[in-house]
Structure 1
Amino acid sequence: MVHEDNNNLATSEHDDGAINTMIMEKNVEEANLITQELNDLGLGEDISTDKFRGYLCQLPQERDSPVDISTQLNFDQLDAQNELHELYRVKYYKLEEVLMCFENDGTLDSVDDEVLWEVLKCFDYTFVWYFHPEYCKLAALVDYQRLVIKNYGCMYANWDRYHMYFNTYDVEKQYAKYYVELSKKLKWGKVSNRGLYQAVKIATGFPKITAKLAYLGFHMSFRDAMKEVYELNRFPVRQQKMKYVLEINDCSQWEAEVAEDEVLGLIAEAVKKLARKSGRPSCAVQPK
């Protein structure tokens, strides 16, 4: 009986190994076919590993010392900062004059700032951006670095990761330009090393874009590219996994697998469609 069980176990393991081999061969076959189609279309750019490393070395290094998140403001400094942030809010409301309750009262300029602030506290929800309460405690940050966009219902991809970079205004402005350029030149919507290599090459044209930001910019379109792949229904081995990832809005595990996968995942049909589209507008955090 034991001998028979061992034989069954060995047979099962052999079958599993054979299935895995077949899946891998199918994946590689699909990748080779689509890579060839992509090359025939003349879209994208084949960049060798050595050239990629060269481009990577051209990017600026991350800050020699990370942002100090241990030193906090004292009580007096916090009070002064809170007063300043209140003034920001009041100035915003006076500038926009968007509140219905003041439409019949003329301009908000006639209202005392302290009174106005007390009245407008309940309208804080109208702000799309807010000063992160934890970041407001950190002495090393400037107000721009404390600003965080609201993420209603996980609306934005990479939200948790991006706002912790504490980028300055100059870096953010250049990142937006880089992402526009990235969208123009990576229209083919792929999720592969080939795409990452070209993203890094593009980043060399923006002196403030580090390797970390270049990598993030590439992966911010990851979900959209995956959706293109899924809708083509050309990869039966992965169809169910892609459907699940798209439904739960969490591509983190899939991204890790793609990074180690031999399959390039270059979808030529998506390429043809995306190549006819203009580059979409960019922002620091792309909506999902």
Structure 2
Amino acid sequence: MEQSSLIASCSSSRSGDEQSCSQDCGKIAQDEDEGGHSGKKTGIDAIEEHKQEEGSASGHVQALLDMDAETVTEKILYFSKRLNFDTPACGDYHPEYDQEQLNQLGEQLALYRIRAYELTVDRKLAELSDENLKLEYPASKLYDNGFFEYYEESLEWYFDPERCTSARFDNYQRLVLHGYRGYLDWDFYSSILNTYEEDVAYVQYFEEVANKTKWIEDYLGDSKIEWERIRSLALMQALEIAAGFPNVSPLLVTYGFQEYINSIKRGCYSKGLDGLYFEIWKRVAKEKVSTSMSFKEALLEIDMKDMFPSRSCEIKYDLENNLGRSPIKKFVSSSLEHLSVQTSDDKARQLIREVIRGSVSKPLYYLDYARRKLDIADDIELIPKGMQAFNRHTQFRSKYYDKY
């Protein structure tokens, strides 16, 4: 891939909705000393250390913001050239399996399907070792049942038939997630032939990118020109971080960066909405204020007090439009009408958050696809034990994945 095409790919915006993938995943390891005393700081020491860390982070962000456009462009080009553009030779000869090899592979894949299916009906993993399954499902039973391929209809994954005919692929590369789970670009994701190690590297890479560039969320409401400058700074950081992850291809560095930006935008779209809707409901609902207000009166008061600066454009649109279009009012009227006037403030706010979460579409990106695929590979013991431990060193696993 040429450098110019890389930068063009980095700088262009993909269409489509976004899902939040930006998470604060920094944790400080605290070991005990030889005397058994914890290294964890408490009280004043901990507070001072936290202040120093915040000050250091703030200073780093300011240093980035002080960079001129020419310097940023030069650094983007410099870090781009450091990416690992060495791709495996696609012309290597990989023979097709003969019938005996296909049968052996079929038996192997059948055990993974059976293990996955049995786990869905609450069988214990300890009962589902290869040895136990081979006793319960001898080769003749596997053949008679078509290697249990029909189990894949009830699972969220399958083994790609075409990849099962060639020795070029390993079983992890043959594993494909079904496309009906909400993945934004499933056709592309399912075509990626990452190995287990490469997907682990991809997840770890974007965890670090999210951690190091979280600061850009504070600038999402800026003008388009200013936001493009902020985005360029984040791209510069992402490319610099990529040098430490040679297993992540330049294509996925650039493609994944745009998906990451989209996810931040999507995640921040609903930020603060719960507070706005709560304040409207509190003013309009009887008994929540001394005198209940109309929707427009409540919104006008919130606007005059500038309670939600990041939502000022939406508020003014609702107040000033004369065409009967009122997105905020429509949401409040249709989604919050079930709230009783006797509902406590805490309960009301919780319910409002749940309604917002349910109303905001959340497409899944390749980061979600890779995380889920890694988890599945671990769960069905597709990967040797040592490699499974490698995956568990990543800071996001299933608890950050919304299961269906």
TM-score normalised by structure 1 residue count: 0.54
> Is this contact kept in 2: 1:157–1:220, CA < 8 A?
no
- Cα 1:234–1:170, aligned 2, differ >3 Å: closer, same or farther? farther
1:196 is displaced (CA, Å) by 2.0
> Is this contact kept in 1: 2:183–2:364, CA < 8 A?
no
1:40 is displaced (CA, Å) by 11
1 CA distance for matches of 2:188 and 2:239? 19
> Is this contact kept in 1: 2:209–2:241, CA < 8 A?
yes
1:177 is displaced (CA, Å) by 1.1
Corresponding residue to 2:104 among 73, 77, 80: 80
Counterpart amino acid of residue 177 in structure 2: I
Find out whether 1:111 has 2:136 as its counterpart: yes
1:53 is displaced (CA, Å) by 1.7
- Which residue of the partner structure matches residue 169 of structure 2? 141
1 CA distance for matches of 2:255 and 2:313? 26
Corresponding residue to 1:42 among 59, 62, 66: 62
Unmatched segments (≥5 aa) in structure 2: 1-57, 221-227, 271-309, 318-359, 366-394
Find out whether 1:226 has 2:265 as its counterpart: yes
Residue deviations 1:174-212 (CA, integer Å, cap 9, x gap): 211111101111212467333222211111122322322
- Which residue of the partner structure matches residue 172 of structure 1? 199
Once the two structures are aligned, what percentage of the paired residues are identical? 24
Find out whether 1:200 has 2:239 as its counterpart: yes
- Which residue of the partner structure matches residue 90 of structure 2? 66
- Which residue of the partner structure matches residue 81 of structure 2? 57
Local SS of the residue matching 2:176: strand
> Is this contact kept in 1: 2:242–2:253, CA < 8 A?
yes
1 CA distance for matches of 2:312 and 2:260? 20
Residue deviations 1:107-143 (CA, integer Å, cap 9, x gap): 6747344587549665434433321223223442121
Unmatched segments (≥5 aa) in structure 1: 1-37, 240-245, 252-279
Q: Which moved more, 1:177-186 or 1:214-223?
A: 214-223
1:161 is displaced (CA, Å) by 2.1
In the TM superposition, 1:1-288 aligns within 5 A as: 42=62, 46=67, 48-66=72-90, 72-92=96-116, 96=119, 98-99=120-121, 109=132, 111-114=136-139, 117=142, 118=145, 122-153=150-181, 155-187=182-214, 188-189=216-217, 192-227=231-266, 281=396
Local SS of the residue matching 1:221: helix
Residue deviations 1:262-282 (CA, integer Å, cap 9, x gap): xxxxxxxxxxxxxxxxxx947
1:72 is displaced (CA, Å) by 4.4
Residue deviations 1:224-262 (CA, integer Å, cap 9, x gap): 2333575656889xx9xxxxxx979699xxxxxxxxxxx
> Is this contact kept in 2: 1:174–1:208, CA < 8 A?
yes
2 CA distance for matches of 1:165 and 1:67? 17
Local SS of the residue matching 2:90: coil
1:86 is displaced (CA, Å) by 1.0
Local SS of the residue matching 1:206: coil
2 CA distance for matches of 1:54 and 1:282? 33
Local SS of the residue matching 2:152: helix
Local SS of the residue matching 1:51: helix
- Cα 1:196–1:67, aligned 2, differ >3 Å: closer, same or farther? farther
Residue deviations 1:127-163 (CA, integer Å, cap 9, x gap): 333212232234421211111222324x123432233
Residue deviations 1:9-36 (CA, integer Å, cap 9, x gap): xxxxxxxxxxxxxxxxxxxxxxxxxxxx
Counterpart amino acid of residue 155 in structure 2: F
2 CA distance for matches of 1:50 and 1:133? 46
State how many pairs are aligned.
Answer: 209
> Is this contact kept in 2: 1:179–1:282, CA < 8 A?
no
- Cα 1:227–1:212, aligned 2, differ >3 Å: closer, same or farther? same
2 CA distance for matches of 1:126 and 1:44? 50
Local SS of the residue matching 1:88: helix
TM-score normalised by structure 2 residue count: 0.41
- Cα 1:142–1:122, aligned 2, differ >3 Å: closer, same or farther? closer
- Which residue of the partner structure matches residue 7 of structure 1? none
Local SS of the residue matching 1:148: strand
> Is this contact kept in 2: 1:195–1:218, CA < 8 A?
no
Local SS of the residue matching 2:180: coil
Counterpart amino acid of residue 89 in structure 1: R
> Is this contact kept in 1: 2:117–2:155, CA < 8 A?
no
> Is this contact kept in 2: 1:128–1:150, CA < 8 A?
yes
